[in-house]
Amino acid sequence: LDRLAAEGVLFERHYTTSSQTAPAHASLFTGLMPSEHGLVKNGTPVPDGVPWLPEALAARGYGTGAAIGALVLARRDGFARGFGWFD
């Protein structure tokens, strides 16, 4: 971990796009603000047609996986898109 920290990038300030988990994660995976990707509250499915980072990575041959701990990031709401494994 020390080597990773020494060779990595340190962000001393970070801001989220939303106080709710699902819209904030959708922003992380799309690079868009909630008003742009359309997911503005928990319990709302990921809109079809928005770019999704795991799909782009998988399409380029990267292995993708997600271990989630929040029900608002459920497979049924589209958060598994592009992940090779999703648990």
Average pLDDT over residues 65-87: 95
pLDDT in tens, 3-59: 888 898 888 898 999 999 999 999 999 999 999 999 999 999 999 899 999 999 999
Phi, psi of 6 (to 5 degrees): -70, -35
pTM, rounded to two decimals: 0.83
**CA separation for the pair 33, 5 (Å, rounded):** 29
